Amino acid sequence: MAHDLTNIADRRVILGLSGGVDSAVAAFLLKDAGAAVEALHMTNWEDEDGYCTAAEDLQDARRICAQLDIPLHHVNFAREYRDRVFEYFLAEYRSGRTPNPDVLCNREIKFGVFRKYAKRLGGELLATGHYARTVTSGGAVALLKAADSNKDQTYFLHAVSAAALAETVFPLGGLHKAEVRRIAKQQGLAVHDKKDSTGICFIGERPFREFLSTYLPAKPGPILTPAGEEVGRHHGLMYYTLGQRQGLGIGGRRDAGDEPWYVVDKDVAKNALIVDQGRSPLLLSDELVASEPSWIGRPPESLDAGLRCTARIRYRQTDQECTVRRALDDRLMVRFGEPQRAAAPGQFIVFYQGDRCLGGAAIEALKRQATAASAVPASAIS
């Protein structure tokens, strides 16, 4: 069953402790609730050039555990991370898609190999500092949005199995970030004012292009307008995503207006980046196909007839009305009530009914409201 802080006294809980303020406060709350809490710090990337803060985070984790008087374990999952997350990350960029490795990191690492390791340590329950909630009804666990809508992380947790969620405690699910900071300061936790981590650890603060070019050869090519006119050269399709405005290097053309240019598509076959100006209809899609769905528990029964729900195509997006139908090949056909801007193949669409996260799938193809004349987009629905 799912658990909250009212029923974990004397339960052995293994907490994923990153060294940040969120997991530090989660540790305090678990111990304050009477849990027999132990911390487990993961190293998921072996950095050789100093951009990642893994060493600093480990030291912060040690300080937190010393302050709270809880045991700290340390495990290296760098090999598993490379095999299960980073290889996917590279494969998606090779195909011209825009990946979201955080979803796989949760499924494969934090609620995969981490969960197994926690059981080896004798853990009865797993805990993390994610902003999310769980509840059990009729013997089935449900994943619910966090109280703090600005920090809600259910988007990134949608692919975690129901079995894993049923064994997980989210101490911060009912709190707002400001309250978490306040608790950390009141308890004198050394990381109470530590800056929140952003992005992916293995990239850190380093230039993204520099990092990616270490693993994938850049293939420069033409930047084309929807009519097929070449207006510049790109550094490699992997460096761009739909809706991107910055870094195109094509501003100030005499034969164009003052409106900004945006990436509206990628033609992988021709190695061409398609751009348009202003509020281009090429960025709008009212239907998409999603593949490899992950449902929290059983798939909704109404999928064949058409599931009416809401969805997000990116983190922190407001919920969008849609209808979801299952195709014969188990892919999902999604139609939105309002056109969506800059849906990116490779990203995830996550489905909700009210506060409940139902699951999600990878965006595979789009049905656009307009099509570039210069090429048939590789991402278009046929």
Contact 132, 4 (CB under 8 A): no
**Under 8 Å between Cβ of 264 and 339:** no
> Is residue 168 a contact partner of residue 129, using CB atoms and an 8 Å limit?
no
Q: Which helix (H) or strand (E) holds 356?
A: strand 356-368
Residue ranges of the alpha helices (H) in 95-207? Answer: 101-104, 114-120, 154-157, 162-166, 177-186
- The bridge status of strand 72-76 relative to strand 36-43 is parallel
| CA max distance for the chain | 72
Identify the three-state secondary structure at position 40: strand
- The one catalytic residue in 52, 65, 105, 357 is 105
Q: Alpha-carbon distance 366 to 285, whole Å? A: 6
Residue 156 near residue 139, CB atoms below 8 Å: no
* CB-facing half-sphere around the CA of 148: CA atoms within 13 A: 17
Chain centroid, CA 223 distance in Å: 29
Cα four-point dihedral sign 113, 117, 119, 124: negative
Question: Nearest to residue 28, comparing CAs of 43, 50, 13?
Answer: 13
No. of helices (H) and no. of strands (E), the chain: 10, 17
For the question of residue 105 being annotated catalytic, the response is yes
Q: HSE-up of 293 (CA within 13 Å, CB side)? A: 24
* Nearby residues of 144 by Cβ (< 8 Å), 6 or more positions away: 132, 133, 134, 135, 154, 173, 355, 356, 357
Is 52 labeled as catalytic in the residue annotation? no
What torsion, rounded to 10 degrees, do the Cα atoms 167, 170, 173, 175 define? 150
Whether 127 and 5 have beta carbons less than 8 Å apart is answered as no
User: 65, 201, 309, 357: which one is catalytic?
Assistant: 201
Q: Which residues belong to the active site?
A: 105, 201
